[in-house]
Amino acid sequence: MKIKLGLIRTACAAAALTMAIATATSAQVGKSQGVLDVNLAAEKDLATFPSMTPALAKALVAKRPFTSPTELNAFLLSQGLTAEQAMAFYPKAFVHINLNTATPEEILLVPGAGRRMVREFAEYRPWKTWAQFDREIGKYVGAAATAQLAQYAFIPMNANTASDADLLTVQGADQAWVAKVKKGRPYSSVADLEKAAGKIQARFFVIQ
């Protein structure tokens, strides 16, 4: 009887581990605390943000899409903004960074990150879940600051297996877009993914 009970416990533990591993493969875009995706934000909204003018908002929209915050930053500086004025804009609109590939220059543009997060973001790669991010970054800056940092970043989702809930973390996503992405599975190329998800949204995925 004890042997059978032990086998049952072992089987349950194995099942729990399998479920944990499956959950760990889920990744998504950080939950917004008010920051908009600069590639998707409406021109009228952009024009109301710090350091913006209607003319600059129009020029920004015409230049989209931006593939990185450094590209966005270079554009804003080329339009006459100072580094401080550009940084004042980012708490309102930003280009999400990939936590697993972001460069130090990209991380330093994240409001509140600083050089410490350049080190910490790199130390814990590869990032697989936001639970991991909350745990590892939270021990340095606390839960509230960790949530603030998360909204500027994403952990790439598997385009072929991401759940509806994960897909809906992409700003601008709705059920129709989710259905279109799922209908195009399985994906074997970035080009096919971009056709289904859109060029801007495709950057949040990996193909596996």
pLDDT higher than threshold 90 for residue 20: no
At 27, is the pLDDT very low, low, confident or very high (cuts 50, 70, 90)?
Answer: confident
Q: Note down the domain range covering 163.
A: 156-208
Residue 138 pLDDT > 50:
yes
- Of 77, 76, 133, nearest in space to 102 by CA: 133
203 and 135 within one domain: no
pLDDT tops 70 at residue 9: no
Residues paired with residue 37 on neighbouring β-strands, in sequence order? 94
Average pLDDT, the chain: 90
Q: How far is CA 143 from CA 15, 52, 134, 172, in A?
A: 30, 31, 7, 26
Cα–chain center distance at 78: 26
Assess whether 139 and 161 both reside in one domain.
no
Distance (Å, whole) CA 106 – CA 118: 9
Residue among 201, 156, 205 at smallest CA distance from 177: 201
Same-domain pairing of 169 and 205: yes
pLDDT, tens digit (0-9, with 9 covering 90-100), for 28-73: 999 999 999 999 999 999 999 999 999 999 999 999 999 999 999 9
| pLDDT attached to residue 26 | 56
**176 plus 146 within the same structural domain:** no
Is 202 inside any structural domain? yes
Residues 144 and 160 in one domain: no
Assess whether pLDDT exceeds 60 at residue 16. no
Does 128 share its domain with 170? no
d(CA 175, CA 173): 7
Q: Which residues does 193 contact at the CB level (< 8 Å), separation at least 6?
A: 159, 184, 187, 202, 205, 207
Residue 3 has pLDDT above 50, yes or no: no
Counting the structural domains of the chain, the total is 2
pLDDT at 148: 98
Is residue 189 located within the same domain as residue 97? no
Token pair belonging to 141: 């800056």
